C-alpha cells in the first residue's frame, strides 16, 4: 500500500517529459494502477499534458476510422526509392 | 546457409548453372525488381536510417552473390535473401549498441524538441478539436493522414497500422513484427508524436513556444 502510494506521488510530480511515454502507453492499458492514478493526477494539474492527451485520443480515433485500404496504400508507399535502386544496381551490377 | 567471406571477390551477377548441373534457382538479375521493395521495408523497419538500410541491403546482395553456390533451393530465393538481411541487420544493431549514439539521432531527439531542460513543455501543445467528428468527416483530413502515415519510418507505420487501424492486440503486433512489448510502446509513442507533428500545422491549433 505504501509502495503504491509512493508510486502515485512520484508519477504525479514527475516533469511532463518523464510522463510523456506513459501517457501514450496508458491509452493501450499497459500500465499498473498506481502509475495510471499518478498520471491522472498529473494530467488534472497540467493543462498542457491534458491537451497532449486529447491529441493522442484524436489520433487514436483517426486510426480507428482510417480506411484499411488507404492504410495498406500508405504502407505500400514505403517502396525502395528509385535512387537507392539505381545506386545498388550500379554498385553490384544487378538489373533494376 | 553460410554467407561468404567479405574479402572474397564477388562473382558476376549473370545466372549460371548449379554446380551439380541443375539450373540455378537464383536469378540475381531480378533480385532488385522482385525483392527490392520487400527487402527495403524489412530493412527500414529495423535499421536506424535509410542510409543504414541501403548499406545492409547492399551487404546482403554481396554476401548472397558470393555464397550463391550454397543455395540448395530448400527455401525460396526471397526467404534466403531475407534471412541473410536479418543477420546483417542484427550484426549492425549489435555494433551500434557498442558505439556511442550520435547526437540528435536517438529516440530522445524528438522529445528534446518538445521539452526544455527541466522536462517541461517547451512548446505548448496546440488545442486540437475537442470533438474530432467535424475534422474526421473531412476528406482532406484523410488525405493528409494518409500522407503523414506514409512519411513515417516503415517500422513505426507498421506498428501504428496493426495496433490502431487493424485493432490487433499488443501481443499480436509484437508477434507480427518480431519485437518486444517495450519496443512496441516506444514505436507507437514515436509514431503518434510524428503524426501529431505532421498533422498539427493543418488540423490542430498550433501551440506557442514558451
Q: What is the pLDDT of residues A10-48, one digit of tens each?
A: 899 999 999 999 999 988 877 999 999 999 999 999 999
Of the pLDDT bands very low, low, confident and very high (cuts 50, 70, 90), residue B11 is low
How much of chain A, in percent, has pLDDT values that exceed 70? 94
Query: Using CB atoms, which residue from A14, A63, A73 is nearest to B164?
Result: A63
Asked if the Cβ–Cβ distance from A30 to B170 is below 8 Å, we say yes
Alpha-carbon gap: A3 to the closest alpha carbon of chain B (Å)? 23
CA separation for the pair B47, B41 (Å, rounded): 10
Query: Using CB atoms, which residue from A60, A78, A93 is nearest to B41?
Result: A78
Cell numbers 521495408 label which residue?
Answer: B41
Asked if the Cβ–Cβ distance from B170 to A54 is below 8 Å, we say no
Of the pLDDT bands very low, low, confident and very high (cuts 50, 70, 90), residue B72 is confident
Element (H, E) at A24: helix A16-26
Quick check: pTM over 0.80?
Answer: no
Asked if the Cβ–Cβ distance from A92 to B10 is below 8 Å, we say yes
The C-alpha cell at B156 is 513505426
Query: Any idea which of A52-56, B10-14, B125-129 has the lowest mean pLDDT?
Result: B10-14
CA separation for the pair B106, B104 (Å, rounded): 6
C-beta of residue B160 within 8 angstroms of C-beta of residue B179: no
For B185, name the nearest residue in chain A, comparing CA atoms only: A25
Helix (H, G, I), strand (E, B) or coil at A94: coil
* pLDDT computed for residue B205 by the predictor: 66
In this model, does residue B47 exceed pLDDT 70?
Answer: yes
Asked if the Cβ–Cβ distance from B119 to A58 is below 8 Å, we say no
Q: Which of A77, A39, A27 is nearest to B147 (CA)?
A: A77
Chain length of chain A: 96
DSSP letter string, chain B: -PPPPTTSPPPPSS----TTSSPPS--GGGHHHHHHHHHHHHHHHHSSSHHHHHHHHHHHHHHHHHTGGG--SSS-HHHHHHHHHHHHHHHHHHHHHHSPPPTT-STHHHHHHHB-TTSSBSBPPP---SSTHHHHT-HHHHHHHHHHHHHS-HHHHHHHIIIIIS---HHHHHHHHT--HHHHHHHHHHHHHHHHHHHHHHHSPPPPB-
Asked if the Cβ–Cβ distance from B186 to A28 is below 8 Å, we say no
What backbone torsions phi and psi does residue B98 show, to the nearest 5 degrees? -85, -15
Query: Any idea which of B1-15, B60-74, B123-137 has the lowest mean pLDDT?
Result: B1-15
More confident residue, A55 or B152: A55
Helix (H, G, I), strand (E, B) or coil at A52: helix
* pLDDT computed for residue B105 by the predictor: 44
In this model, does residue B191 exceed pLDDT 70?
Answer: yes
What backbone torsions phi and psi does residue B118 show, to the nearest 5 degrees? -80, -5
Asked if the Cβ–Cβ distance from A84 to B31 is below 8 Å, we say no
For B189, name the nearest residue in chain A, comparing CA atoms only: A24
In this model, does residue B2 exceed pLDDT 60?
Answer: no
What backbone torsions phi and psi does residue B120 show, to the nearest 5 degrees? -100, 160
Q: Enumerate the residues of chain A whose CB falls inside 8 A of the CB of residue B126.
A: 51, 55
* Mean pLDDT, all residues of chain A: 87
Mean pLDDT of A72-94: 81
For B142, name the nearest residue in chain A, comparing CA atoms only: A66
Q: Is B15 on the interface with A (CB under 8 A)?
A: no
* pLDDT computed for residue B6 by the predictor: 45
Mean pLDDT of B164-172: 91
Q: Which residues pair with B169 in a beta bridge?
A: none
Maximum Cα–Cα distance across chain B? 73
Q: Is B42 on the interface with A (CB under 8 A)?
A: no
Query: Using CB atoms, which residue from B30, B165, B204 is nearest to A55?
Result: B204
Calculate helix-pair angle for B50-66, A82-92, nearest 10 degrees: 30
Mean pLDDT of B10-36: 64
* pLDDT computed for residue B104 by the predictor: 38
Q: Is B115 on the interface with A (CB under 8 A)?
A: yes
CA separation for the pair B122, B111 (Å, rounded): 10
Cell numbers 520487400 label which residue?
Answer: B38
In this model, does residue B50 exceed pLDDT 90?
Answer: no
CA separation, residue A26 to residues A19, B60, B115 (Å): 10, 39, 20
CA separation, residue A92 to residues A64, A74, B11, B64, B73 (Å): 43, 30, 10, 11, 23
Query: Using CB atoms, which residue from A15, A58, A85 is nearest to B118?
Result: A15
Asked if the Cβ–Cβ distance from A58 to B132 is below 8 Å, we say yes
The C-alpha cell at B67 is 555464397
* pLDDT computed for residue B103 by the predictor: 38
C-beta of residue B111 within 8 angstroms of C-beta of residue A20: yes
The C-alpha cell at B148 is 503523414
In this model, does residue A69 exceed pLDDT 60?
Answer: yes
* pLDDT computed for residue B20 by the predictor: 43
In this model, does residue A72 exceed pLDDT 50?
Answer: yes
Q: Is B75 on the interface with A (CB under 8 A)?
A: no
Size of interface A-B (CB pairs under 8 A): 165
More confident residue, B203 or A48: A48
Amino acid at each position: 500500500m505504501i509502495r503504491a502510494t509512493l508510486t502515485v506521488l512520484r508519477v504525479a510530480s514527475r516533469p511532463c517529459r518523464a510522463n510523456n511515454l506513459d501517457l501514450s502507453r496508458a491509452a493501450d492499458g499497459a500500465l499498473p494502477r498506481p502509475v495510471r492514478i499518478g498520471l491522472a493526477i498529473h494530467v488534472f494539474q497540467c493543462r498542457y499534458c491534458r491537451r497532449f492527451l486529447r491529441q493522442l485520443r484524436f489520433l487514436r480515433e483517426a486510426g480507428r476510422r482510417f480506411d484499411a485500404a488507404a492504410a495498406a496504400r500508405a504502407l505500400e508507399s514505403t517502396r525502395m526509392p528509385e535512387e537507392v535502386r539505381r545506386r545498388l544496381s550500379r554498385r553490384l551490377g544487378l538489373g533494376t | 546457409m553460410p554467407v561468404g567471406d567479405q574479402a572474397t571477390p564477388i562473382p558476376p551477377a549473370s545466372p549460371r548453372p548449379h554446380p551439380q548441373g541443375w539450373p540455378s534457382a537464383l536469378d540475381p538479375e531480378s533480385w532488385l525488381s522482385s525483392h527490392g521493395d520487400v527487402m527495403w521495408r524489412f530493412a527500414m523497419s529495423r535499421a536506424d536510417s535509410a542510409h543504414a538500410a541501403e548499406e545492409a541491403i547492399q551487404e546482403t546482395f554481396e554476401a548472397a552473390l558470393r555464397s550463391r553456390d550454397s543455395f540448395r533451393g530448400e527455401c525460396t530465393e526471397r526467404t534466403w535473401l531475407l534471412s541473410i538481411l536479418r543477420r546483417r541487420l542484427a550484426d549492425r544493431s549489435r555494433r551500434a549498441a557498442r558505439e556511442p549514439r550520435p547526437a540528435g539521432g536517438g529516440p530522445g531527439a524528438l522529445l528534446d524538441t518538445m521539452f526544455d531542460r527541466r522536462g517541461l513543455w517547451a512548446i505548448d501543445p496546440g488545442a486540437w478539436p475537442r470533438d474530432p467528428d467535424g475534422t474526421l468527416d473531412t476528406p482532406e483530413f484523410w488525405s493528409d493522414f494518409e500522407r503523414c502515415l506514409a512519411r513515417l519510418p516503415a517500422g513505426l507505420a507498421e506498428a501504428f497500422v496493426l495496433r490502431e487501424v487493424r485493432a490487433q492486440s499488443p501481443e499480436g503486433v509484437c508477434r507480427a513484427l518480431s519485437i518486444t512489448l517495450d519496443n512496441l510502446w516506444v514505436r507507437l509513442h514515436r509514431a503518434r508524436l510524428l503524426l501529431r507533428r505532421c498533422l498539427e500545422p493543418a488540423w490542430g491549433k498550433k501551440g506557442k513556444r514558451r
